[in-house]
Structure 1
């Protein structure tokens, strides 16, 4: 970084304390805007001022919550999400497969609708994209956050969360399927008039190790009239299947394949 006279830095800080934006101060004094931002950061740190990014946390500000967006994001969080809550790191992360770019955009859109003003970003990894939103207030929206893996601790919805899910059940189902579920096409063969014919039929799977999260999913399916069953592979009853034609039709109308 280029060295500037202490008097120039003092002049910049005086202007910033008057409420001028970084870009205006930088243009007026002829220094990079990044340098002005760094001076402001160091000045605040020296004076013990903690600056929090502006946000509209519905729980803290007693604001209405975007129910459809929240119910969908809750499904994503319960499936493939986690919250980092440290002194200098606070963010919600949702992991999305790169094969479904529509889901990446949907996750980011839901974050922005649930807490307006919180910054969002994407971090590319091998085969997936981490969609992140930066604010400590995600803990307010997802009280299920805690130490350890979700399937190793109790996961129960609060009364206010359950009210949102009851009002927007399909959004939760969609979020859970988009995170830990899939729509596949099974096939079988039958003898018809002495000839073997192939039949194909779609079905939905949801897989999660948490008994509590699976119950949240199946309770919601019951509420919307979808029939389901548990498919145990080996001794692990982690798989929920929806295969009956009428129930698959309901899922297709409300969820559909990943995109």
Structure 2
């Protein structure tokens, strides 16, 4: 929470004609906060919100399926960063081409932390679905400095239990972030002539060996056949396994 004097000083810079981005860079205050202060400057009283993880008796999130999906999105295209106010921001990058994914991401974030607001910030070619809370670090202990593929990524026992209970939600989040469903084609000789045939295929691409392992472990539990296509890619191409993925995931939308 910022005091009224801090808010007034920041808005005075905006009143000089400065952009929200430049004032944000100078003061360390988010553009979202600056924008909200333009309509209401006095601090709002916020009720204390309990955290399922840092309370006296840690427990799973109230919506474990939403959490499993959000965990998959976070491991793919998400980050948790500490804010100057002491809170944490969870940001998930989503392509503009998939409005359904953006909506699903927002719903999952609200399902996990219904007490906190969620905003969508437009960027070049994508949006950042973001929410601020003091407890994102509790819910995503994998956060840390640097890129995820440059550090060890393992699930806590309580996270693994959620993934084991809701594996399809977890796999859906991973595929929606770093995966795709495509139509492959190949040729083979038929009566001496090349014939083209097409078949659907799922790819999951991530530089982190740990995250790829979490993905393939979940596929193994679900009975989905997969193979390592190359250093960073996991492929699902067998007809029965693709049908199983289609039934629970399908193309992005």
Measure how far apart 1:132 and its partner are: 0.3
> What whole-Å deviation, never above 9, does each CA across 1:140-176 have from its counterpart, x for those lacking one?
1000011111111110000000000000001110000
Matches of 2:236 and 2:176, distance apart in 1? 15
Measure how far apart 1:53 and its partner are: 6.4
Within 5 Å, which residues of 2 pair with 1:77-96?
77-88=74-85, 90-96=88-94
Q: 1:131 to 1:209 in 2, by over 3 A?
A: same
Give the structure 2 partner of residue 212 of structure 1. 210
Query: How many matched pairs?
Result: 214
Measure how far apart 1:93 and its partner are: 0.2
> What whole-Å deviation, never above 9, does each CA across 1:103-136 have from its counterpart, x for those lacking one?
0000000000011111110000111010001112
Matches of 1:105 and 1:159, distance apart in 2? 29
Matches of 1:36 and 1:128, distance apart in 2? 27
Q: Secondary structure at the match of 2:53?
A: helix
Matches of 2:229 and 2:198, distance apart in 1? 19
Q: Secondary structure at the match of 1:60?
A: coil
Q: Secondary structure at the match of 2:172?
A: helix
Give the structure 2 partner of residue 25 of structure 1. none
- Please tell me whether the aligned partners of residues 181 and 201 of structure 2 are also in contact (alpha carbons under 8 angstroms): yes
**Could you state the TM-score of these two structures normalised by the residue count of structure 2?**
0.79
Give the structure 2 partner of residue 226 of structure 1. 224
Within 5 Å, which residues of 2 pair with 1:21-40?
37-38=40-41, 40=42
Larger Rg: 1
Given candidates 70, 73, 76, the residue that maps to 1:76 is 73
Matches of 1:205 and 1:64, distance apart in 2? 30
Within 5 Å, which residues of 2 pair with 1:1-259?
37-38=40-41, 40-41=42-43, 54-61=48-55, 62=58, 65=61, 66-88=63-85, 90-232=88-230, 237-259=231-253
**Could you state the TM-score of these two structures normalised by the residue count of structure 1?**
0.77
C-alpha RMSD of matched pairs (Å):
2.1
Matches of 1:100 and 1:158, distance apart in 2? 31
Matches of 1:203 and 1:74, distance apart in 2? 23
Can you give the 5+ residue segments of structure 2 that lack an aligned partner in the other structure?
Answer: 1-36
Matches of 2:79 and 2:46, distance apart in 1? 21
> What whole-Å deviation, never above 9, does each CA across 1:90-109 have from its counterpart, x for those lacking one?
21000000000000000000
